Structure 1
Amino acid sequence: MTATTASGPSGAARLDGALAALPEHKRELARLLLAARQPVPARPVPRSGAGPVPATALQARLWNRERTHPGMGTGSHAVRLTGRLDPARLRDALTGVLRRHEALRTRLTDSGGPDGLVLTVDGEPCLRLTQTDLSTYGSQDREERTARQITESAGTLMGLDSGRTSWFRLLRLSPDEHVLVLASHLAVFDGWSSGVFLTDLAAGYRDGGGRLSPPDLQFPDYAGWQRRWLGSPDGAADLAHRRAVFAGDPPARRAVGGFERGYLPVRLARGPVDAGLALGASQGATPFMTLLAALAVVLARRDGRTTSVIGTPAAGRFTGELEGAVGQFTTVVPIRIDLAGEPPFRELLHRTRAAVAEALSHQRLPVDALFDKDSPPPYDTLFALHNYPAVPFDLPGIEVSQLPGPPARHLELYSPDPAATTACVGLVERDGEITGTAEYNRRAVTPAYVRELLTGIEEVLDRAVAAPASPTITRH
């Protein structure tokens, strides 16, 4: 029913009527012009209309890099399904998840206008699913072929401009065992999204894909808001303030040879690390903060400086409404840690706590707006202790387990210029162990250098536990 006043229809109703009377191609333009005149909220809100929105700064970078490095932006996830699976029911659930999340129905194209790269949402989902029967092979051959399929999935060529941003493979190993592999482009799917996706897939499998309702906020809502907020007085002020924080720090130097990816497995020694984390906890520091403080000491000694700037990937979901959406929200938050005055490690932990809290309060700022190839970031090392929410993938009558896949391409995702980085140490704390992968630039450093970083963390923690009040630990 149309809202009215004593004198007739309300202003909102008149505006809706005027917009409805316009031709469709002008209607969307009018909505955008009206939105541009309104104050930009500090947080994303549902957008008006369903037309194209400007792509995020990170999407624009990934789109450009995909042009010269095809397949660079593809990530892969795999789960083993043990039990009696209904493939038709799974297809319906997958389609329902694609319909629920606009990010999985988008295409990125160059508008040729002032908006540059834009993101357009397709109305109906297009499920790309291949099914392969491996049940006729022997046990070892099945596992080898499964591993090969997972590896191939990570190299799947996507088409951002065509909307081909995800591809599924269902491998049948036996009547009661399957493997589901998802290949997705990093431009529309981050690490957090995998948990959201699996949760929704389980709900769609149990209750039917058609019963999945869209989240309160979609990724295009966020993308459209980001460009407007960065151009607003509040966004510009936040950007200027954050740049000023790092104005005195030297930028990372670009490797002469460019960028070539290398990997090392990581497993931190439990003795010194466990004791170090206990020391950190006694000072109110999380495991991430404690490990970050130790790495800051290692890097400060390397550079002969009394400060360390380290980049850390952040989820970027700074409002609760974004936590249930699939999309690429990740940003890198630079953390500046002050070691001036040779503080005891206990004092350094308190400084690190404050620095982390301050840095994470600026997750709204995309790293690609803060830094670019012409003004490289003031860090060459990235560090992450991943804490994505645990996902109970609950399918009736089916046991689900995660399968390892190829290492992710984090340096190209997280770095405005990968050649200006040396290493990205990504760790996971699970079952009392801290393990992960160190990705590094072969053109900048050697595997021995990366190992020295890791052993340096262990040594700093070992000495900190032995003498937490000694200033020699942070002496450069």
Structure 2
Amino acid sequence: MTTPAGSAPPGATAGVEGALAALPESRRELARLLLAARSPVPGRPAPRSGAGPVPATALLTRLWHREHGTGRAPAQPGTGGAPGTGSHAVRLEGRLDHDRLRDALTGVLRRHEALRTRLAADGTAAPRLYVDEEPVLRLTRTDLSAYGEDARADRVRHELTESADAALDLGTGRTSRFRLLRLAPDEHVLVLASHLGVFDGWSSGVFLTGLAAGYRDGADSLPPPGLQFTDYADWQSRWLAGPEGTAELAARRAVFADAPPAPRAPGGFERGHLPVRLGRGPVDAGLALGAAEGATPFMTLLTALAVVLARREGRDEAVIGTPAAGRFSDRLEDAVGQFTTVVPIRIDLAGGAAFPELLHRTRAAVADALSHQRLPVDALFGPGTPPPYRVLFALHNYPAVPFGLPGIEVSQLPGPPARHLELYSPDPAATLACIGLTERDGRIGGTAEYNRRAAAPEDVRGLLTGIEAVLDRAVAEPAAPVRTRH
């Protein structure tokens, strides 16, 4: 019988646990930590050994310093909410059992350690994640049924905006808050707000799936996920410090060693939002051209955007950041947490190649970049050094979640636009825009979040019209060389 590399031989685990159990409780946790430090760090997260605090992720560490240090950015009402707060809402039509909903919400908080964590520095250089044993449900109920229809709609919009503007705190563990608005006996709105340091876009689907199961089958109907966010945080810290993480980090840094850091806007950072949409004609034809070359819609749009940016800067290449889910292990897919990482993609546009050739270069660059999702962007470029990209681009494809409650019709409510620039960029002042698109009913559109100190709305729109123009030319003359210098 062979033993996989890095794993303990049969019976060793039981022997170790027996030896640990024989130690005084005051020394037991220290012994676990020492054993974990001596064990080889796997290439993917695994359940951590023992309990107790774990080092914060690289992203959480940055957010902590921004919120509790000199770099904290104040909330800007009306421009996307408080730093660190993400909020969305659902309309519930039908006979709602308030007690079952409360118990289901508490059950989801109990299931996911990320929703019971708080950060503390404890005199160390980096903050650590602590998990509270029991969940604390922060749920307010407001009855709006006595208001007229117009006044009620205004109050709902006010509650949605207020939820996004209200700051949540990593230090106290107040990282989630819920509001239940009663519009009529059989009509409610549930508003969910979470700190983006512990809750990403994928987590919304995980949360709603657990909430539906808890409401339908009881709060304890779902077991804990295979891996918790704290398992991932513990693994990330040890892996980055280990030989494999150190080697991958050095190799990836070498790729961008000669790429100049993005210039910081003299005025710093002030957030703005702009709805955007791509035209159907040139984009549809361009995506068809990309598909014929084996490129996904994201790769095709990314190639066109790279051409636009290279022409603006007079260069033969472009570096663009794209948010990746970061759930590179299947066991992370049913966990709530902030796993998103920004992956910088460097695209070579030199030589006057035709657009189909550029698509093949982009395909290779995207595949290579996504293979490094384990590397947090904060570790890749380090504090005080702006990343080499000014524009972030995403074509969101989070899995659709059929959020169903028995006897209740559920629908999503539009809320304030999300605040992602400060989350995705280590230095928002060095970022021009974050363009987030989705494809619905054959149309591609979304929201561009931009730095008012670095760009005007027409500058951001120019990126989109530039994409359309590049695709239009590529379809009309697919063999024509694409020039980035004039």
Give the TM-score of the pair, scaled to structure 1.
0.96
Residue 108 of structure 1 aligns to a residue in which SS? Answer: strand
In 1, Cα distance between the equivalents of 2:169 and 2:28?
29
- Aligned pair 1:47/2:48, yes or no? yes
In 2, Cα distance between the equivalents of 1:105 and 1:342?
54
In 1, Cα distance between the equivalents of 2:349 and 2:167?
45
Partner in structure 2 of residue 304 of structure 1 = 314
Are the aligned partners of 2:314 and 2:484 in contact in 1 as well (CA < 8 Å)? Answer: no
C-alpha displacement of 1:372? 3.1
Residue 132 of structure 1 aligns to a residue in which SS? Answer: strand
Are the aligned partners of 1:290 and 1:349 in contact in 2 as well (CA < 8 Å)? Answer: yes
- Aligned pair 1:82/2:83, yes or no? no
| Paired residue type of 1:74 | T
Residue 429 of structure 2 aligns to a residue in which SS? Answer: helix
Partner in structure 2 of residue 69 of structure 1 = 73
Between the aligned residues of both structures, percent identity stands at 76
Are the aligned partners of 2:355 and 2:482 in contact in 1 as well (CA < 8 Å)? Answer: no
Which consecutive aligned stretches of 4+ in structure 1 deviate over 6 angstroms post-superposition? Answer: none
- Aligned pair 1:320/2:330, yes or no? yes
- Aligned pair 1:364/2:374, yes or no? yes
Match of 1:242 among 248, 252, 262: 252
Instruction: Give structure 1 stretches of 5+ with no counterpart.
Output: 1-8
Are the aligned partners of 1:267 and 1:436 in contact in 2 as well (CA < 8 Å)? Answer: yes
| Paired residue type of 1:361 | S
Partner in structure 2 of residue 29 of structure 1 = 30
Partner in structure 1 of residue 124 of structure 2 = 113
- Aligned pair 1:436/2:440, yes or no? no
Residue 125 of structure 1 aligns to a residue in which SS? Answer: coil
C-alpha displacement of 1:473? 5.7
In 1, Cα distance between the equivalents of 2:403 and 2:376?
31
Partner in structure 1 of residue 104 of structure 2 = 93
C-alpha displacement of 1:325? 0.4
After TM superposition, the structure 1 = structure 2 runs for residues 100-179 of structure 1, keeping only pairs within 5 Å, are 100-113=111-124, 116-179=126-189
C-alpha displacement of 1:160? 1.3
C-alpha displacement of 1:255? 1.1
Partner in structure 2 of residue 191 of structure 1 = 201
| Paired residue type of 2:250 | A
After TM superposition, the structure 1 = structure 2 runs for residues 225-304 of structure 1, keeping only pairs within 5 Å, are 225-304=235-314
In 1, Cα distance between the equivalents of 2:156 and 2:196?
23
Are the aligned partners of 1:372 and 1:417 in contact in 2 as well (CA < 8 Å)? Answer: no
| Paired residue type of 2:115 | L
- Aligned pair 1:204/2:218, yes or no? no
C-alpha displacement of 1:10? 5.1
Cα deviation 1:55-102 (Å, max 9, x = unaligned): 000001111112323531011011111111111111111011111111
- Aligned pair 1:340/2:341, yes or no? no
Q: When the two structures are aligned, how many residues end up with a matched partner?
A: 467
After TM superposition, the structure 1 = structure 2 runs for residues 440-459 of structure 1, keeping only pairs within 5 Å, are 440-459=450-469
In 1, Cα distance between the equivalents of 2:471 and 2:198?
38
In 2, Cα distance between the equivalents of 1:219 and 1:12?
24
After TM superposition, the structure 1 = structure 2 runs for residues 348-387 of structure 1, keeping only pairs within 5 Å, are 348-387=358-397
C-alpha displacement of 1:142? 1.0
Task: Give the RMSD, CA atoms, in angstroms.
Answer: 1.4
Residue 313 of structure 1 aligns to a residue in which SS? Answer: strand
Residue 318 of structure 1 aligns to a residue in which SS? Answer: coil
| Paired residue type of 1:38 | S
Give the TM-score of the pair, scaled to structure 2.
0.94
| Paired residue type of 2:87 | S
In 1, Cα distance between the equivalents of 2:122 and 2:338?
21
